[in-house]
Amino acid sequence: MTAHLQLSDVSVSFNGFVAVNALNLAVGKGELRCLIGPNGAGKTTALDLICGKIKPTAGSITLRNTELTALEEHQIARAGVGRKFQVPSVFKELTVRENLQVAYSKRTGVFANVMRSCRGEETDGLDMLAQLVGLENALDKPAAYLSHGQTQWLEIGMLVAQDTELILMDEPTAGMTAQETLKTADLFNRLKGKHTLLVVEHDMGFVKAIGDVISVMHQGRLLAEGTAAEVERNEEVRRAYLGSGGITGA
Ligand SMILES: Nc1ncnc2c1ncn2[C@@H]1O[C@H](COP(=O)(O)OP(=O)(O)OP(=O)(O)O)[C@@H](O)[C@H]1O
Ligand SMILES: [Mg+2]
């Protein structure tokens, strides 16, 4: 199988400190991949490299067969990579509906056509999307009045509306209630297949609820890969997490 997203021997240093060290990572199309690892492992830096916020000092990053390292950040976004940030980039003064409309207006290509063909008598694309992210009853609410969880879901909905092929998320459940976390796991499970997702997450309960394959990073490298059970009983992974409260408590 050719990977949808492929990182090959990717490295980056900050003032001589190697944060990502010859990292290899392959994610298949439509896959929902979790990326875990102890603090400072290089997870956020890996996402920064993929979306072009920082440039690698060595290695290659491809989406389909497009070399992303040769592109500027905005070109990488146009190539289909979207990042969900810790502080959501929604327009607070606009309603949920208006935010989704803004996102739709940025979309290109296939998804636009799919949405048009779905635009039937009963439901239009925007309502379907609002339903997907659980905001169907909040469409006319200004984003400023959404709960923390709802704001995260709106931002995810905006990435979907923009026809984002690869969605990158850094600790999306941080600050969410247990119930919001469950709903988010459910949402991710519905997004996979149509989108490729790479999710950095500390909450192992969440990881188990969503992750098919989990990649573990340590000291800038890929340490292990497998199911939650495989990763949890891996001796090297256990050792990497020593001193940080263990893998489940991380
Ligand atoms: N801009 C930077 N300048 C210098 N050092 C940096 C920079 N960005 C990251 N680092 C260092 O690189 C290492 C990896 O950081 P990164 O944020 O990618 O880790 P992480 O796996 O996301 O950790 P956490 O789980 O705590 O979020 C850390 O030691 C960090 O201090
Ligand atoms: Mg991080």
CATH, residue 233: 3.40.50.300
Q: Tell me, what's the pLDDT at 39?
A: 93
Please, what sign has the CA dihedral across residues 226, 196, 193, 27? negative
Closest ligand (CA of 170)? 2
Q: How far is the CA of 43 from the centre of ligand 1 (A)?
A: 8
Q: Ligand 2 centroid to 40 CA: how many Å? A: 7
- CB environment 188-216: b (16+ within 10 A), e (fewer): beebbeebbbbbbbbbbebbbbbbebbbb
Q: Whose CA is nearest to atom 8 of ligand 1?
A: 45
pLDDT of residue 87: 65
Pairing of strands 213-218, 221-226: antiparallel
Q: Which ligand is nearest to the Cα of residue 54, counting in written order?
A: 1
Domain residues for the domain of 167 are: 5-249
List the chain pLDDT tens, one digit each, 250 residues.
568 999 999 999 999 999 999 999 999 999 999 999 999 999 999 999 999 999 999 999 999 989 999 999 999 999 999 998 766 689 999 999 999 998 888 775 545 555 555 554 334 789 999 999 999 999 999 999 999 999 999 999 999 998 899 999 999 999 999 999 999 999 999 999 999 999 999 888 899 998 789 999 999 999 999 999 999 999 999 999 876 766 665 4
Distance of alpha carbon 12 from alpha carbon 35, whole angstroms: 18
The tally of domains found in the chain comes to: 1
pLDDT at 121: 35
59 lines ligand 1 (CB under 6 A): no
The pocket of ion ligand 2, defined by CB under 5 A, consists of 44
Using CA of residue 80, residue 84, residue 85, residue 91, what is the dihedral sign? positive
Query: Which amino acid is it at 159?
Result: L
Binding site membership of 218 for ligand 1 (Cβ less than 6 Å): no
Task: Give the per-residue pLDDT at 22.
Answer: 98
The pLDDT value recorded for residue 137 is 96
Q: Which ligand is closest in space to the CA of residue 35?
A: 1
pLDDT at 242 (0 to 100)? 73
| pLDDT given at position 11 | 98
Q: How far apart are the CA of 108 and the centre of ligand 2, in A?
A: 30
Contact 117, 67 (CB under 8 A): no
